Amino acid sequence: MPLICLLLLSLLPWFAAAEEEPFEFPDEDLESTIEAVNEGDLEFLLTPPAESVHHHINRIRISEGSLHDGWVELQQCHRHLDAVPHLEIVYHPQRIRHIKLLRAENIGSSRVIDARIELRDVRQGASLCLQAESQSLHRSGPHGYQLRNGPYMRRFLDGYYPMQLTLQVDFPTDKIRFITMRPLPLDTGHARLRDGRVYWNGWFQGKLFTEMDFQILEPVNKP
């Protein structure tokens, strides 16, 4: 990837990398590169890209408390980050709290500033893991909840490039039951539903928003 990139991922963060040198496509590849650019239409990839791409991993835990206030526990990792001099991960300040960096590899420096994470000297093979709380669980009528995340995207200028997403959601089976999720395809080998856990892993390009619906098993009494 070039030196400037924009990656929009779950929980409404945006990634911006500072420019140091202009990027130019090789003349002989320009026409084929333009034809291959995705302009934002969501496309799930049946086979993974030949080379490793940005891998966004979200592990979300819905607790009984989440059913009252919408705040869920989040563990998030970014692997195979694009090598850039400066990268910022910026979250919606009203929907993220208690950000804590757990691990950073092949990154010169990393720090949390309010609702954003600043990275410098991001090298090849860089990865970052963090934990936080996100307000992404919403009531959907009197008998349900909906977990919303997005947009996930890996963007450069007007083009969107392949990205890998792993999403795991744990939930209290004595309070709610899983109904469905959109638009992630459930009829592939990448999706699994177990007792109290929904798991999906796959590759896509374009702009991806996810919705996951749950049904209430018993009334939730507010404290």
Domains for the chain: give ranges and CATH numbers. Answer: 49-216 (2.60.40.1730)
Would you say residue 52 has pLDDT above 60? yes
Virtual torsion, Cα 209, 101, 137, 164, nearest 10 deg: 30
- For residues 51-67, average pLDDT: 95
Cis, peptide link before residue 2, omega less than 30° from 0: no
pLDDT mean over 16-36: 38
Residues of the chain above pLDDT 90, percent: 59
Residue 63 makes CB contacts below 8 A (sequence gap 6+) with 72, 73, 172
Q: Provide the token pair at 76.
A: 């998030």
Question: Which DSSP helix (H) or strand (E) runs through 96?
Answer: strand 96-113
